[in-house]
Structure 1
Amino acid sequence: MRILLVGATGTLGTAVHQELVARKHDVVTVARTGGDLQCDVTDPEQVAGLYRTVGQVDAVASAAGSAPYRPISELTVADYQAAVTGKVLSQVALVKEGLTHVTESFTLITGVLAREPIVTGAAASLANGAVEAFVRAAAIEIAPQRINAVSPTVFTESLDVYGDFFPGMKPVPVAEVVRAYVRSIEGRQTGQVYVP
């Protein structure tokens, strides 16, 4: 399969890229400042241009998304807008602009905060929940194309940096999250939120 991988230079994106290549897929990597192509996916015009450049692909996998973390009393409207733009609208644009360029599937990224909130995570929880709701809604409209989301908790490999933000939550090895991407891309289910 020819796969467009967005967010390909981060911890997760790098691991997804390595696994997809090992599975003999042709992967076009995209990141804001690295990869085969550069694109700021928060800009719908750049996303449209990305698809014009790449042409037809079998699948899109997103490992990109950002949201601010602050106590709810300090979050501003701009913070919530940044979360929606950085994690929700960017991935919605990948789907919307990709409908005529993607033959098989979309895999989006969400996260544990959609179902297990943490202190300072309200904006991220809002964004993750929105992505998951979008996946379920889009699945009934874009068939036969498929769409799923992968919703991991904190990575075992990142506990030294982020572990204190996820007290008591069971971490997940990046390799398990990568398996969820493979399941979404190579499988046949749609409208699923995979929780590795």
Structure 2
Amino acid sequence: MRKRKVIVIGATGTIGSALADLLEANHYEVVRASRKGTVRVDLEDESSMEALFASVLDVDAIAVTAGSGKLTPFSQISEEDFRFGMKSKVLGQISLARRAAERLNEGGSITLTSGNMFESLIPGSAVSAFVNDGLEGFVRAAAIELPRGIRFNIVSPGWVKETLENMSFDVKAGLGLTNVSGTLASAVAQAYLKAIEGTMNGQTIRP
């Protein structure tokens, strides 16, 4: 029997590498894609997305674990901050999802990433909340329109333990995160696997 094929976008990152390893352990054929990897794709470059789907065929699922954002105090927010968040996190993932919906095998799965949705909002999180809430709303609404039984979900990872461990104490203190332990990347990866293997559609999954 053919292994199911999954493209992991951002596969060189903390979450992406954990997900790729988990999928391989569960007998999937994994295509590891990133901006600097062997299979290259950049969410800010539509031509690279077209090249990805032209070169990788017969795909059953795609999971995006890439996309960046930043914290900006309310008094310092500029229109450029919103443009950066929309371009780097929202529009790129939506462009990829639109292409995937046309090319995935019947009954396939698309999983995006929204970001750190804070249990207690912290200073500087307004732009991130705007971007991530909007992306989750898009997935929830668009999921009912995808063709050929393709499911569309999104994972909101929260703080990842390995990421927090790489932050300096001063940075964590400034964000009010000195007592936050985070979730292991391997546990976050399970949320993406749940989206790929499950039956949910239009859902936000939090590890």
- TM-score normalized by structure 1? 0.92
Partner of 1:151: 156
The equivalent of 2:46 in structure 1 is: 44
2:78 is matched with: 76
RMSD of the alignment, in Å?
1.8
Change (3 A) 1:51 1:68: same
1:76 CA drift (Å): 1.5
Quote the Cα distance in structure 2 between the aligned partners of 1:71 and 1:153: 20
Q: Which residue of 1 aligns with 2:140?
A: 136
In 2: Cα distance, 1:16 partner to 1:85 partner: 24
Q: What residue ranges of structure 2 are gaps of 5+ in the alignment?
A: none
- The alpha-carbon distance between structure 1 residues 76 and 45, as it changes in their structure 2 partners (threshold 3 A), is same
Deviates more, 1:181-190 or 1:163-172: 163-172
* CA distance in 1 between partners of 2:154 and 2:128 (Å): 15
Aligned to 2:194: 183
Which among 90, 95, 100 is matched to residue 88 of structure 1?
A: 90
Q: Which runs of 5+ in 1 are unaligned?
A: none
State the identity %: 33
Q: SS at the partner of 1:57?
A: coil
Amino acid at match of 1:62: V
Deviations 1:1-47 (A, max 9, x none): 1001100001101100110111110111111112x311111122321
Shift of 1:49: 2.1
Residue-pair matches, total: 195
Aligned equivalents of 2:145 and 2:118: distance in 1? 23
More deviation, 132-141/119-128: 119-128
Look at both structures and tell me which one has the larger radius of gyration over its CA atoms.
2
Contact 1:3 1:61 in 2 (8 A): yes
Using the alignment, how far apart are the partners of 1:118 and 1:89 within structure 2? 25
Alpha-carbon separation, structure 2, partners of 1:166 and 1:175 = 24
Report Cα offsets for 1:86-115 as digits up to 9, x if no partner.
111111011111122112010111123376
Cα 1:166–1:17, aligned 2, differ >3 Å: closer, same or farther? Answer: farther
Contact 1:68/1:82 (8 A) holds in 2: no
Q: What one-letter code is carried by the residue in structure 1 that aligns with 2:140?
A: R
CA distance in 1, matches of 2:118, 2:102: 29
SS at match of 2:77: coil
Residue aligning to 2:20: 17
Aligned AA (2:128): A
